[in-house]
Structure 1
Amino acid sequence: MSTSQSWRSATAIRTGLVAALAATVAVGTYSYVDGAADPSGDNGTGASGSATTSVVEITPFTTADSGDCLTWDIDESGVVSNFEQTPCSSEHRFEISAREDLATYPSSEFGLEAAAPDLTRQAQLREELCSTATIHYLDGRYDPVGRYSIAPILPPAEAWAAGDRTMLCGIQATDGLGNPVLTIGPAAEQDQARVSQPGECVFFDNARAPHILDCAEDHHLETTAVVNLRETFPDRVPSTEEQDGHLAEVCTAAAIDYLGEEEILYQSTLQPYWATIPSSSWNGGSHSVNCSLMSAHPEGGFSLLKGSATGEFTINGNPPEPQPERDPLTSEGEAEGTAVPGEAGSLQNSAEAPIPQL
C-alpha cells in the first residue's frame, strides 16, 4: 500500500462521525411505536383479557438510498448541523452508493443493546460492506488515490440507541485533514484527480500527506495551472514519457505566465514541476495534473518555501540568490551559453519527491 493510500484509509472513515455529531437530523425521525392490542381480546389462553402484544417498530434516521446525495454544515469548531438530503446536481458532501442494515449482519454484534462501532470497526465495515458496493456503483471507475474516498455514515446516537442499524455507504471528496468538502455532480461523471488550484500552495507532512494552504505558510509546491491531459490524449492512456514530453512545455509556459515573464522565472531560481498519471489512476477516472513551482533541496526532495513566488518569498529561510546576467534569449526561450537554474521535472520521475500525486 502506498503512503497516499495509507493516509486515505486513515481519513476516509471520518464521515462515520457526522451523523453521530448531528444531534438533530433533518432527513428522518426515529421512535419506538407500540403495537395495538389484539382486537380479539384473546390473551393467548383462549380467554379474554387485558394483555397486549407489544411490537417494536424502528424508523430509520433517513430514507436516503443509493444514488441520493447528502450535505451538512460544519462550523469553525467542527460542529455538524443541517444534515439533509439534496440533489446530486447541487452542492453536497456525500453520495450514497449502498444502504445496509447492520441488523441483518450474521452475528449478534449489532443487536439492540450493542454499542455503536468505533472508528476501527467502522474502517472494517467500510472494507467489508462499502468498498465493493461503491466500486460497482461507479461501474468500476474509481481511483483509490484520487480525490474521492469510500466511507460509511452511521445513525446519530439517539437513533442507534432506539435500534436503528442503518449504515449508508458512499463516496466523498475530502480536504487534507480528511473532512468532506462540497462537490457538485455525480462522482462517476467527475475527474477524480486530486489537484490544487493556481495560487494555492501544497505542504507535505511527515506522513507525506498533502495539505493545501496559503502560500504565506511554509510549503513545498506553488500551483501554477491545472492541466486536463484527456484533452490531449482523448482516446488512450498516455505513457509517462508522452506525459512528460507534453507537460515539460505546458508547465514551463504556465510558470512564465503565472510569474509574468521568463526573466522573473529565471531570477526566482524556481523550477517548473508536475505530476504524471499512472495507468491505474487514468483508468480509474483521474485525468488532470498540476503544474507547480518548486526548488530542489540540495540533499534531495523539496526545499521549504515561504511566501508566493509572485512576490517576496524565501527558500529554506533565505531569499533566492541573485542570478548572473544572461545573453539575449534565443527563439527557443533559452539564453545562449547560460543555463537556466534547475531543470523542469516530473514528480513521478523524482525518486526524492515526497509523493507522486498533486
Structure 2
Amino acid sequence: MSDEHANERDASGRGDDARLDTEATRDSGTPSADKPGHHLSATMTRRALAAIALGAIIAAIATAVFSGGFKSENDLSTHANTGGPMSTGAVSGSAFGTAHAGDCLTWTEDDASDLEKVDCSSEHLFEVASEVDLSNFPGTEFGPGSKFPGVLRFSQLRDEHCTPAVNEYLGAKFDPNGKFSVGLINPGVAGWAAGERTLRCGLQYSGTTGNPQPIYGTVAGQDQSKTWDAGTCIGINQNVPTDPVPCTDPHAFEVISLVDLGAKFTGGFPDIPDQDKYLEETCTQASNEFLGSPDALRNKTLTLFWDNIDLTSWLAGSRKVTCSVGKELDTGGFASIVNSAKGDILINGAPPIPPPPVPEGRSLPVPLPGAGN
C-alpha cells in the first residue's frame, strides 16, 4: 500500500499530517484556547492506516494458494519428470493444466474446482505469469507419493519463485504497493495425489478480508494504484478498514476524490512534500465540494486524509491516489460511520456534535505540511 497522509482538522481548522512509515511525524500538541474541541493525534492515524497495509498482507497470504485443492478427479494422470511442465487435467475442462503466461482464469467455487480460462478483457480473478514444475526440484520433498504441502510451504514457494516471475513478466513494472498481489495456484489435493506437480504463478487483486476481487484487463495495461472511485465506502472490522461496502453499512472511511498525480507532475517523480502541498489543496477543495460546504468536515468532526505514491510505485507506472474522510478513535483505529458523509451520518451510533464556532476575527491556522521521508 502506498504511504498515507492524514490532514486532521480539529475544531480550529488546524491540521496535522501523518504518514504511514516508521518516522516520527509532527504533532501540534494538546487542545488550547485557539483549538476548542478535540485534537486528533497524528500517531493514531498512522497506526490505523498501517492496519490497512497489514490487512492487505494477510489477505495476500490467505489467497495466495488454494489449500483446499481442486476436487475434480476426472482424467488425472501421473506427472512424469520430463524436464518441463505437463498437464494432468486436474481441473474440469483442463484449464489449470493448459494455462500459460498471459492466460486469465476465473472461478466461482470456493475450491476453484470450476476454474476456466476467459478473455482477459472480461472479468477474471487471476492472470498467469509463469509455470513452476516442482518435479524438477532435487530431493524427495515433491517426489512421487510426497505429502501435499501446507499453506506456509506454498507461500514460501510463491515468494521464492512467483515474485521474481511476476517482475519478469511485467518487465520490472510491478507495483508492490498497488492493488495487485503475487499469487499462486496449486494443483490441489487430488491433482497432487495423482502426481501433478505444476504450479501457476500470477497476479490477483486481493481484498483485505482475503477474498479475490474481480480484475478487468491485463495488469500490464493499467494503472496499478490501489484506489477506489469517489463515493466508495470502506468497511470496518474491530476499528480496522476492510473492503468496500454500501455506505449505509458501518464503514471506516469514504473516498471523496480520485486524483491523478501524473496530470500535475509531468517532469518525473515528485517528492512527498511536493505531493502533500498539491494534495492538501486538492483534497480540501474536493472535500468542500463533496460534503457541500467548507464547514461540513469540521461540523461532522471528520478527518481528511490522502495517499502518497513512493518512488517504487511511480517507476511501476502508478499515478493515482485517493482523498478520503473518516473519524479517528483516541485509542487508535477508526470509528464506525453509517451513511455517506454527504448527508446525515452516525459515528459510533450517534450523530456528530459540531465543535464550538471559531471566534470572529480569529484566522484559521494553515495545516502543517506532511512529514518527509
TM bucket (normalised to shorter chain) is 0.7 to 0.9
Say yes or no: does 1:337 pair with 2:365.
no
Matched with 2:137 is 105
CA distance in 1, matches of 2:57, 2:75: 31
TM-score, with length taken from structure 2: 0.72
Where does the alignment leave 5 or more consecutive residues of structure 2 unmatched? 1-20, 22-49, 80-85, 91-96
Say yes or no: does 1:11 pair with 2:59.
yes
CA distance in 2, matches of 1:345, 1:84: 52
CA distance in 2, matches of 1:134, 1:177: 23
For residue 224 of structure 1, the aligned residue among 256, 260, 274 is 256
CA distance in 1, matches of 2:295, 2:154: 54
Q: Is the contact between residue 234 and residue 241 of structure 2 (CA under 8 Å) also seen in structure 1?
A: no
For residue 163 of structure 1, the aligned residue among 195, 198, 217 is 195
Alignment of 1:1-358 (within 5 A): 7-15=55-63, 17-18=65-66, 20-24=68-72, 29-31=75-77, 59-61=88-90, 62-74=97-109, 78=110, 80=112, 82-202=114-234, 210-297=242-329, 302-323=334-355, 337=362, 339=364, 349=371
Alpha-carbon distance, 1:307 to partner = 3.2
- Per the alignment, do residues 70 and 58 of structure 1 end up closer, same or farther by CA in structure 2, a change over 3 Å counting? closer
Paired residue secondary structure (2:265): coil
- Per the alignment, do residues 29 and 69 of structure 1 end up closer, same or farther by CA in structure 2, a change over 3 Å counting? farther
Q: Which has the higher contact order (CA 8 A, sep 6+)?
A: 2
Alpha-carbon distance, 1:324 to partner = 5.0
Alpha-carbon distance, 1:243 to partner = 0.9
Q: Is the contact between residue 258 and residue 322 of structure 2 (CA under 8 Å) also seen in structure 1?
A: yes
- Per the alignment, do residues 96 and 300 of structure 1 end up closer, same or farther by CA in structure 2, a change over 3 Å counting? closer
Equivalent pairs counted in the alignment come to 313
- Per the alignment, do residues 266 and 127 of structure 1 end up closer, same or farther by CA in structure 2, a change over 3 Å counting? closer
Q: Is the contact between residue 251 and residue 291 of structure 1 (CA under 8 Å) also seen in structure 2?
A: yes
- Per the alignment, do residues 72 and 98 of structure 1 end up closer, same or farther by CA in structure 2, a change over 3 Å counting? same
CA distance in 2, matches of 1:305, 1:4: 17
Q: Is the contact between residue 298 and residue 354 of structure 2 (CA under 8 Å) also seen in structure 1?
A: no
- Per the alignment, do residues 163 and 212 of structure 1 end up closer, same or farther by CA in structure 2, a change over 3 Å counting? same
CA distance in 2, matches of 1:15, 1:296: 29
CA distance in 1, matches of 2:257, 2:168: 33
Cα deviation code 1:297-337 (max 9, x no counterpart): 4567654433322222233544222355679xxxxxxx963
Alpha-carbon distance, 1:95 to partner = 0.9
Q: Is the contact between residue 69 and residue 88 of structure 1 (CA under 8 Å) also seen in structure 2?
A: yes
Q: Is the contact between residue 235 and residue 243 of structure 2 (CA under 8 Å) also seen in structure 1?
A: yes
